[in-house]
Amino acid sequence: MRVELIQYTPEPEKVVASAAKLCYSPVGVSEIMEKLEDESAEKFIRILMKMGHMSPVEHVSFTFGIEGISRVCTHQLVRHRIASYSQQSQRYVKTDDFNYIVPPAISENPKALAIFEEAMENSRNAYKRISGLLYDSYAEGAEEITKRQMGAMEKKAIEDARFVFPNACETKIVVTMNARTLIHFFEQRCCNRAQWEIHGVADEMLKCVKRVAPTIFEKSGPACIKGPCPEGSMSCGMMDEVRLKYENMV
């Protein structure tokens, strides 16, 4: 997988600190911004996060380009509703030879891998055959077909042929979340009980934002790094190891 932070609010920590300070200040935001030093912004953000005063954190957002993940992963990702998503379309993009993601457990089992690869190849062949048959049926009887009509018929054919695609199909997506949503996302998806692929995506996203807003995301990660494990009897039982991992994450 590839996770890249492609854009974010400039000076995110200064923006958050200024927004929070405005709540308690008689002066305007411009004056607050001018006087705010990096050190004081960091100190104020730590106080803010400890208090749980989270609304100012919503003023900064981060946009990621994510590639090399499966549709299984994006089905989970888009359940996080306070966010914006733009995903590569299977309706408009013809993918005769789609790439696919192989789960580690399958790749490590030769017999399972052989069955999996056969299923992927069958899906590819079925997609090609179905889209070809549908295109031919739409073109049947036409004496002359313009380039525009050809494009429309192909689009119509692949929008139904895509129904044979597996969840393993590789996809690309652009995701934008504000910092508060990201913190919640990390609590849910950096957990050891999260599915392995979205867990990996969440870890990479966290590394990206820690580089540009280290104080905001200083305590980010699964919920257990800030308190008891919320999973109860379903806990992974590795809280000490998990805390060490996220404390040292850069």
Residue 103 is classified by DSSP as: -
Tell me which CATH code domain 2-86+172-247 carries: 3.30.1360.170
Task: Report the length, in residues, of the chain.
Answer: 250
Cα–Cα distance between 134 and 163 in angstroms, integer? 13
Q: Which residues pair with 170 in a beta bridge?
A: 70
pLDDT digits (tens, 9 = 90+) for 36-53: 887 888 988 999 898 888
pTM of the model: 0.92
Residue 28 pLDDT greater than 90, yes or no? no
| 222 neighbors 198 (Cβ within 8 angstroms) | no
Residue 66 identity: I
The half-sphere exposure of 92 on its side-chain side, counting CA atoms within 13 A, is 3
Q: Which residue has the higher pLDDT, 242 or 146?
A: 242
CA 22 to mean position of chain CA atoms:
32
pLDDT band, very low/low/confident/very high, at 73 (cuts 50, 70, 90)? very high
The span from the CA of 117 to the CA of 114, in Å, is 5
Residue numbers annotated as active site: 189
Determine the average pLDDT of the residues in 77-82. 95
Q: What residue segments make up the domains of the chain, in order of their start?
A: 2-86+172-247, 104-164
Structure tokens at 185: 């996302």
Dihedral Cα 232, 223, 178, 11, nearest 10 deg: 180
Check residue 119 and give its pLDDT.
98
